[in-house]
Amino acid sequence: MQAHAIDLPGQPDRHQLAREGRINELQILQSRQGRIDFQAEQQRLREQDRQIVVPQVPRPEVPVMKSSCQIELYGNIYRRVCR
């Protein structure tokens, strides 16, 4: 299981930002962390979907009617004669 909160190197501590009233920077960090969490969850779900084996349903046999038509040659023309 992955950690849900990570501190990015070179970034100020969230608690420090809140104490200092730097709300915009805190919101940016929270938004960034939300995107990271969302991407991690999507990746986990995709991996889980890959592991699910979907059973293959056999295709039903469909009877095929054979044509009773014949192709006959009349001079330079082929004609289809059906009986």
pTM, entire model:
0.43
Q: So what's the pLDDT on residue 70? A: 80
| Domain segments of the chain as ranges | 1-54
Q: Mean pLDDT, to the nearest integer, of 17-29?
A: 78
Q: Which helix (H) or strand (E) holds 72?
A: strand 69-74
Q: Mean pLDDT, to the nearest integer, of 35-55?
A: 90
Identity at 70, one-letter amino acid code: Q
> CB of 72 within 8 A of CB of 81?
yes
d(CA 83, CA 81): 7
